[in-house]
Structure 1
């Protein structure tokens, strides 16, 4: 389709060129007023009739074998859910239309993952891959309550009603096609399209290229990557796990930022130090006995840089082991984490660890005490666009696995760090036997700063 603006009379042609505008709705008749089934292009057309829609390009057929950094997530069918807490009357039809516009903007979201007879995995575009926009009729505090198996689709949207005017809205994306930075960009654009639909703004659909693997990205920059096999995922967790949300207030987050400025430590390094200290205390081991591993977004660290949606999992892996003589000074430990990272990054260890050592690392997990200390920091979540009649009040990470028995311990045990609406959040999935202990200790380490410098310094910071 050439670059043009669609008039109302062009809607039939638009639907014909993009035939997969059907949206699967799995809903409770008594609570939603709409029976389960297929909502055809009429819903999208009824929204589109009120807007000017610009289509700048059409997706082209696409198929390729998944790279090891992508295929490692297929054994379990692992999806990351970017969940927003919404207050107000959510327009389900507008959300479905926004999701469809998102898929047209990022054609990879219309792909499916397939596995061949030899166990190889590939991703390819298919004209008849319908989208999943599901609605759970009963009220629930669980963001993924009632979520249907998405099959071989790589993305879905799920809505759970929490009350008369409260909803969880989750954008789920298969980890094989998007890491956190990529997923956050998709979430931002989903809500932007939703606001466009509801507030009668002009809608622009501009197709992005299909994202590349980190292997291809590094190869294109003449950075050597050794061939690697995707690590096996046949070692299930042996401990009962639970997820704990450690959320600081805005005031406590600001105080921690000030503390970091005064001590030459970043928020990420301070959280890393707190996780190390709390976990080793809970496991009753020396601080030098635990290997701290965390993912690093490489997009801005490559030349030329990589856009959020230009790659799938554009990640490096950093590791840190504290000196056995490390004391209880969280700022000193945080600076040590940063120093080790800077050194490894300079020699290429962060960029290449993922390919050279990850198989050995994954196989070594059962020998580690408890579970490995693993974290990823998604940074500050951007402001999400929303129309005047709703407010996006919360953000959290949800997880879904089609085959949870194949989720590796590194994915089951770990911490996701974000900042949303000025609040630092740490979502921790840990063995139930010490999850609460670690979470409470992390909160204390990050908020009761008097234990490091005394009450007078705390008063100055406040």
Structure 2
């Protein structure tokens, strides 16, 4: 019996990323001997195990549609080039009408930036880093002579389907959302590529931040968020209370039953926060307030419903109001990266982000992650942004002051 090809209309939480042709790069820095043939073999195995990586997006009268490739031999691109490993998307031709993933390896001697780029419609960071860990596990097996026998995974499901299955629906009656039209080539904005600058804490600084959070009963996410908000108010020369802070929440372990890392595409909630008037301009105080609001939102279900409500009740989703764009401070929290196996002679030293998407207004944002026991904060601003050096220095000082003064 011939297996029917997968074809489904993307849900609103997915199609917004198709409209922007948004690819996120999940990049590890590798040091040592990297075998190109073994990596190509591993990537081929992973794309067979996760067929959505080889799928494509097309626009029809139904809107953005996820379509399985008609050619079973078609595989996403893997590319090797010499260059600057800190620019992991350099030279990569990304096209969602061909494939929803690619692997780009930028080498400089024994150092390389290995970037798994995935179209955001089909994977968030928690999904993608799980695949990244499997890629390195397969690579290690190939190098060590262990046969690969990848298990084919089903296509991931949308947030909307996963929530509905668990009895979670939007707060009010849904407003019909017209499917996004196919982007007209003549009107599409040019792609904006963000090769990030990362401020990475040392192991000692990471430990100090965690210990501070434990003492003050504030999460690391809260502490970093407080420091970022204070830095952004300084850089933008704006009152702290005018900033609109938005951040992502991984819902997988907050749903019953929980959702596996690659079972869903974007299994996220979105939270908006504003520092209230009269609150002390202190990262611990701000971080504690962020945590209190988050716990309340998870308790009453508003965080779980947040993306549904964003589409069904746009007026209720003020942090995403385009008119507030210049006041928005955004952080995507990737959490703790899963362990990644490597063979003898190769070491993975870091994880960071990159992105490429078509945007009319190109703003900056942050990505928070932890790998190798160290916290990394990516500053993803468009190429050549003149504020970036000062922004990095201001954030560094705010974080240093946070642990130094307590």
2:366 counterpart of 1:415? yes
Residues 363 and 304 from structure 1, CA distance in 2 versus in 1: closer, same or farther, beyond 3 angstroms?
closer
Residues 90 and 419 from structure 1, CA distance in 2 versus in 1: closer, same or farther, beyond 3 angstroms?
same
1:253-292 → structure 2 map (5 Å cutoff)? 253-292=206-245
Deviations 1:148-176 (A, max 9, x none): 2345211111111122x221111111100
- Structure 1 counterpart of 2:402, from 428, 433, 449: 449
- Structure 1 counterpart of 2:388, from 404, 417, 435: 435
2:10 counterpart of 1:62? no
**Other structure's SS at 2:23 match:** strand
- Indicate the structure (1 or 2) with the bigger Cα radius of gyration: 1
Structure 1 residue 331 displacement after superposition: 1.2
Worse overlay, 422-431 or 325-334: 422-431
Equivalent residue, structure 2, for 1:107: 51
2:370 counterpart of 1:424? no
Structure 1 residue 329 displacement after superposition: 2.5
Equivalent residue, structure 2, for 1:177: 122
2:21 counterpart of 1:77? yes
TM-score, normalised relative to structure 2? 0.88
Structure 1 residue 382 displacement after superposition: 2.0
Residues 224 and 162 from structure 1, CA distance in 2 versus in 1: closer, same or farther, beyond 3 angstroms?
same
Deviations 1:362-409 (A, max 9, x none): 8965533734111111111122111112111222111123xx245x65
2:238 counterpart of 1:294? no
Equivalent residue, structure 1, for 2:354: 398
Equivalent residue, structure 2, for 1:166: 111
Equivalent residue, structure 2, for 1:246: 199
- Give me the CA root mean square deviation: 2.8
2:280 counterpart of 1:319? no
Could you tell me whether the CA contact under 8 Å between 1:69 and 1:230 is conserved in 2?
no
Q: Which has the higher contact order (CA 8 A, sep 6+)?
A: 2
Equivalent residue, structure 2, for 1:128: 71
Structure 1 residue 60 displacement after superposition: 5.5
Worse overlay, 364-373 or 424-433: 364-373
Distance 1:162 1:335 in 2: 43
Deviations 1:203-236 (A, max 9, x none): 2321111110000001111111335637979997
**Other structure's SS at 1:256 match:** helix
Distance 1:369 1:180 in 2: 23
Deviations 1:337-368 (A, max 9, x none): 10011112212211222122365558965533
Distance 1:178 1:246 in 2: 25
Worse overlay, 355-364 or 181-190: 355-364
Distance 1:288 1:91 in 2: 52
2:114 counterpart of 1:195? no
Distance 2:307 2:33 in 1: 44
Unaligned runs of 5+ in 1: 2-57, 454-462
**Other structure's SS at 1:426 match:** strand
TM-score, normalised relative to structure 1? 0.78
Could you tell me whether the CA contact under 8 Å between 1:72 and 1:231 is conserved in 2?
no
Residues 236 and 147 from structure 1, CA distance in 2 versus in 1: closer, same or farther, beyond 3 angstroms?
closer
**Other structure's SS at 2:326 match:** coil
1:334-349 → structure 2 map (5 Å cutoff)? 334-349=287-302
Equivalent residue, structure 2, for 1:229: 177
